[in-house]
Amino acid sequence: MPAFLVFATFWDTMDGLYSYRTHMHDLIIIGGGPGGVAAGVYASRKKLATVFITKEWGGQSTVSTDIQNWIGTKNISGSDLAKNLEGHLRAYADDVLTVVSGRTAVKVEKLADAHFKVTLDNGDSYEAKTLLITTGSTRRKLEVPGAEAYDQKGLTYCASCDGPLFAGQDVAVIGGGNAGFESAAQLLAYAKSVTLLHRSENFRADPVTVEKVLAHPNMKAVKNVKIKEVVGDRFVTGVVYDDAEGTTQTLPVAGIFVEIGLVPTTECVAGLVELDEVGRIKIDPWTGATSTSGVWAAGDCTNIKYHQNNISAGNAVTALEDIYVHLKTK
């Protein structure tokens, strides 16, 4: 038996004073998207004793068939991106980073010694001096007939990922907030026309943004609509809605971009760090530090303005650099 296992077994017999799973690590990273993996690679290269916990790899982009804005790669599918992220992290893991895949963190708590304990869905737990939360978010789904059937067959939740696929075609954006208008602005660079459908009379986006986007000759907006159905053949051919008068209309489009909000994955840290009104983790934009000393966060689970793979990766690396300084100089 290897020496380290003999050591762990010995202590396991001493009233549970020590176990391999509760060994004190430098860092626990929760989340296997671009942000978590970027931080994990940096943590490994800096020789921080790290536990990396993820239910799955790749984040939201795994559903995309053709990602064209992942820097350094002309185009890549979401599934291949996920494989590459996992492969990159494991290549640098060596003996300093432990990968715990296929598990969800269900509870994160601060211990009396100012360290942290993370409990998983199978009852295992790990302890560390610091935490980095990169759990991301999920897109709020459009729940009407046809939406699920045509998901990634013309209906998508990422204009920056999939917009170029609809060059020269008519598309619709569903949502009247900043994300909806920003997506429309991106799509205007490719599409023949963009129609934004909003459920109420007033847009939630900044007035300046609304004015600028609606000024484009290929852009229009329809307010007070109720989305009824997504229709198509093999791919999307249109979206059906009731207008302000209650009349059913069908808008012929090749693509539908849904921007009706994000649901941050922050349940496991509720009560540990300060969240905003929609459940995102509040962070210091300079460092990624949260309201709780020893805890950092990055990516779509935080209250950052923009949500992109490259931004998540950069923010997570920034946080990791600050974590290293915290561990080694304070």
Maximum separation of any 2 CA atoms in the chain, in Å:
77
Tokens read off for 18? 């020590």
Enumerate the active-site residues. 158, 161-162
Number of Cβ within 10 Å of residue 278's Cβ equals: 12
User: How far apart (Å, rounded) are the C-alpha atoms in residues 132 and 329?
Assistant: 18
- Single-letter residue type at 17: L
User: How far apart (Å, rounded) are the C-alpha atoms in residues 166 and 268?
Assistant: 38
- First-to-final CA distance of the chain: 38
Return phi, psi of residue 235, to 5°.
-130, 170
Angle, CA 234 vertex, CA 233 and CA 238 arms, to 5°: 45
Gyration radius of the chain over CA positions: 23
